[in-house]
A = this chain, B = another copy of it.
Amino acid sequence: MSQESEFSEGDLRNTGMSLKHDREWDYELDRIVKQVEEKGAKKVGLQFPEGLKRRGPRVADDIRELVGDDVTVMLSGQPCYGACDLDTFLMKRTDVFVHFGHSPMKNTDKVIYVPLFSNVDVFPIMEDALEELPEDEVGLVTTAQHMNQFEDMKEWLEERGYEVHTRRGDDRLTHEGQVLGCNYASAQVDADQILYVGGGKFHPLGLAMEHPDKKVVIGDPVNNVVTVADTEKFMKQRYGAVHRAMDAEKWGVIYCTKIGQGRWEQAQDILDDNENAYLITMDEVTPDRLRNFDMDAFVNTGCPRITTDDGPQFHKPMLTPGEYEIAVGNKPLDELSFDTFHGTW
């Protein structure tokens, strides 16, 4: 989510990236090569999430072996932590562009999406998770990389007597049961306990903040551990940031220019409402980029996870639009809630 290498306390990133299991990915080379041939492509762009960037050269080698010498393969060096981070510059300048590891928010024939499903066995950790799931009804969610096993997970739970509630969230989500860092609509089900199957705590903590009424059980097949999401430290950070921002006079209102992150109306509303608010546009929202702006606080209309997870790294309080409303007194403190994104690009 950020280009910083030092993480502050309470940081949730990078928790699923250091994979303990060896994996074999299916890069769908045939599909890529076929498209290169069909289009007579001369330039092929490849984009990997941060945790898989080191695999780029090998994939490039495999493609180069199968296509003509006149094809140039290019690796995107832009930061990539999610589906929003599509390298549209490279996409526009290559004949075939492949985005690995995230499902599309919206289908377009400009991009080949290669999902990179994990082949880790999820059932041992689901077995361990059962003792944290005492009720008969359970919601089930997972991330893009375990999506290929979703139906099996659901059946597995049903065989053990659960009534399993699942749904496809909204247009932003490709699959039934899928969660994104910014969208947990698929967990809006009639069950008080939700089983999240997947690596890391990034997604389940967002889930627990979005649905504070539900018990969120994390079955992590990558790190082989079962935990229950605990948002307390996180929520304290959020309240702390809101309180610190209450004295702010000058506000920087961040409008993120990334595909899928632009909430223009929210930004414009704040500007209309507050004459001491200034609109700042950028793609990557990082502490270094904001340090030179002389603001007392920031409100980020872009990715909510930058705000909540990276928040402590910024030199001034960084709030979500909802938190901003509380800080300036438009809403009471008890309306503090998790910021999510809905809809598509």
**A residues lining the B interface (CB < 8 Å):** 3-5, 45, 50-51, 53-54, 56-57, 60, 72-79, 87, 89-90, 250, 254-255, 257, 268, 271, 278-295
Contacts and interface: CB of A to CB of B under 8 A. Distances in A.
Contact of A54 (B76, B90, B268, B294): B294
A57 B3 contact: no
A289 B3 contact: yes
Given A3-B286, A5-B288, 16 more contacts: A45-B281, A50-B292, A53-B294, A57-B250, A57-B294, A57-B295, A60-B278, A73-B278, A75-B278, A75-B293, A77-B254, A77-B282, A77-B285, A77-B289, A77-B293, A89-B257
User: How many identical chains are in the complex?
Assistant: 2
Contact of A288 (B3, B257, B271): B3
A341 to B, nearest CB: 20
A79 B283 CA distance: 10
A72 B282 CA distance: 16
A42 to B, nearest CB: 11
27 contacts: A3-B286, A5-B287, A5-B288, A45-B281, A51-B292, A53-B292, A53-B293, A53-B294, A54-B292, A54-B293, A57-B250, A60-B278, A72-B268, A72-B279, A74-B280, A74-B281, A75-B279, A77-B289, A77-B290, A77-B293, A78-B289, A79-B288, A79-B289, A87-B281, A89-B257, A90-B257, A284-B284
Contacts of A286: 3
A284 to B, nearest CB: 8
Contacts of A50: 292
A3 B2 CA distance: 12
Contacts of A279: 72-75
B76 A281 contact: yes
Nearest to A290: B77
Contact of A282 (B5, B45, B76, B293): B76
Contacts of A78: 281-283, 289
A7 to B, nearest CB: 12
B255 A74 contact: yes
A89 B60 CA distance: 29
Contacts of A282: 76-78
A257 B54 CA distance: 21
Contacts of A289: 3, 77-79
Contact of A56 (B51, B284, B293): B293
Contacts of A4: 288
A226 to B, nearest CB: 29
Contacts of A292: 50-51, 53-54
A277 to B, nearest CB: 10
Contacts of A79: 288-289
Contacts of A257: 89-90
A55 B67 CA distance: 52
Contacts of A280: 74-77
Contacts of A283: 78, 89
A38 to B, nearest CB: 23
Contacts of A74: 255, 279-281
A66 to B, nearest CB: 15
Given A5-B288, A283-B89, A278 B57 contact: yes
